[in-house]
Structure 1
Amino acid sequence: MIEPFLEMMSAERGAAANTLASYRHDLEDADGYMRTRTGRPLQQAASADVASYLRALSGEGLAASSQARRLSALRQFFRFLYAEGVRGDDPTGPIASPKKARALPKHLSTDAVSRLLERARAEADADGAGANAVRAKRTRAVVELLYATGLRISELTGLPAALLGRAEPFFTIRGKGGKERLVPLSEAARAACLDYRQALDADPRAVDCPFLFPNETFGAPVARQVLARDLKALGARCGIAAAQLSPHVLRHAFATHLLQNGADLRVVQQLLGHADISTTQIYTHVLDERLHALVSAHHPLAAATRRH
Structure 2
Amino acid sequence: MKQAGYTNATQKEYAREIEAYLQSLDGLAADAAGKMNVIAFLVSKRTTAGDRTRNRTLSAIRAFYAALIDFEMASRNPALEVKKSKTEKNKKPVYLEEEELVATLAHVGGRYRSRNIGIFLLMSYCGLRVGEIHRLNLRDFKKAKGIIEVFGKGRKWNEIPVPEVLLSVLGEVEQERIAPYRAKEDAFFVSQKGKRLSIRQIQKIAGLTFAAFKEQHPDLADMKLSCHKLRHTFATMLLKNGVDIRVVKELMGHASIETTMIYTHVNDSQKKEAMSTINIPLRAIR
Coarse TM-score class (shorter-chain normalised): 0.5 to 0.7
Q: Is the 8 A contact 1:171 1:182 kept in 2?
A: yes
Correspondence 1:224 to 2:199? yes
CA gap of 1:113–1:287, structure 2 versus 1, over 3 A, is closer
In 1, are the aligned partners of 2:148 and 2:159 still within 8 Å (CA)?
yes
Unaligned segments of structure 1, at least 5 residues:
1-64, 66-96, 124-131
Q: Is residue 2:230 matched to residue 1:250?
A: yes
Work out which of the residue numbers 164, 184, 190 in structure 1 matches 2:161.
Answer: 184
- 1:113 match: 101
Does the C-alpha gap of structure 1 residues 149 and 155 become closer, same or farther in structure 2, counting only changes over 3 Å?
same
Q: State the number of aligned residues.
A: 195
Question: What is the SS of the residue equivalent to 1:142?
Answer: helix
Flag the structure with more relative contact order, 1 or 2, with Cα contacts below 8 A and sequence separation at least 6. 2
In 2, the alpha carbon distance for the partners of 1:243 and 1:146 equals 18
DSSP 3-state at the match of 1:233: helix
Q: Report if aligned partners of 1:106, 1:244 keep a CA contact under 8 Å in 2.
A: yes
The 5 A counterparts of 1:52-67 are none
Bigger drift between 223-232 and 238-247 goes to: 238-247
- Contact 1:161–1:209 (CA under 8 A) maintained in structure 2: no
Partners of 1:212 and 1:99 in 2: how far apart?
Answer: 37
* Distance across 1 between alignment mates of 2:267 and 2:93: 14
The structure with the largest helix share of the pair is 1
The amino acid across from 1:105 in the alignment is P
> 1:284 and 2:264 equivalent?
yes
CA offset at residue 197 of structure 1?
3.0
Q: Of 253, 264, 270, which aligns to 1:273? A: 253
How much is the aligned-residue C-alpha RMSD, in angstroms?
3.5
Please say which structure displays the higher CA radius of gyration. Answer: 1
Instruction: Give, in whole Å, the separation in 2 of the partners of 1:103 and 1:145.
Output: 25
Deviations 1:82-119 (A, max 9, x none): xxxxxxxxxxxxxxx97642432111111110111233
Q: 1:133 aligns with which of 111, 114, 127?
A: 111
Does the 8 Å CA contact 1:256/1:286 hold for their aligned counterparts?
Answer: no
Q: Are the equivalent residues in 2 in contact too, given 1:147–1:250 (CA < 8 A)?
A: yes
* Residue 233 of structure 1: how far off its partner (Å): 1.0
Task: Check if 1:198 corresponds to 2:198.
Answer: no
Indicate if the aligned counterparts of 1:259 and 1:265 stay in contact, CA closer than 8 A.
yes
The answer to whether the Cα contact below 8 Å between 1:164 and 1:190 also exists between their aligned partners in 2 is no
Instruction: State the match for 2:208 in structure 1.
Output: 233
One-letter amino acid of the structure 2 residue matched with residue 223 of structure 1: S
Length-normalised TM-score, structure 2: 0.57
Seen in structure 2, the aligned counterparts of structure 1 residues 165 and 260 have a Cα distance that, compared at 3 Å, is: closer
Amino acid aligned to 1:144: L
Query: In structure 2, do the counterparts of structure 1 residues 217 and 282 end up closer, same or farther at CA, with 3 Å as the change threshold?
Result: same
Task: List per-residue Cα deviations over 1:195-214 (Å, max 9, x = no partner).
Answer: 2333334x475876311012
Q: Distance in 2 between matches of 1:257 and 1:281?
A: 14
How far residue 187 of structure 1 moved from its aligned partner, in angstroms, is 1.9
Alignment of 1:1-308 (within 5 A): 100-120=88-108, 123=109, 132-134=110-112, 136-164=113-141, 166-201=143-178, 203=179, 205=181, 209-219=185-195, 221-239=196-214, 241=221, 244-286=224-266, 302=277
Q: Given the superposition, is the C-alpha separation of residues 267 and 287 from structure 1 closer, same or farther in structure 2, using an over 3 Å criterion?
A: farther
Distance change >3 Å, CA 242–CA 217, structure 1 → 2? farther
Please tell me the residue identity of whatever aligns with 1:246.
S
Contact 1:157 1:213 in 2 (8 A): yes
Q: CA deviation at 1:279?
A: 0.9
CA distance in 1, matches of 2:162, 2:237: 17
Q: How high is the TM-score relative to the length of structure 1?
A: 0.54
Deviation string for 1:48-96 (max 9, x for gaps)? xxxxxxxxxxxxxxxxx9xxxxxxxxxxxxxxxxxxxxxxxxxxxxxxx
Letter in 2 for 1:228: Q
Amino acid at match of 1:117: L
Cα distance change, pair 204–169 in 1 and its aligned pair in 2 (3 A):
closer
Q: Distance in 2 between matches of 1:218 and 1:242?
A: 36
Distance 2:174 2:233 in 1: 26
Structure 1 residues 292, 199: CA separation in 2 closer, same or farther (over 3 Å shift)? same
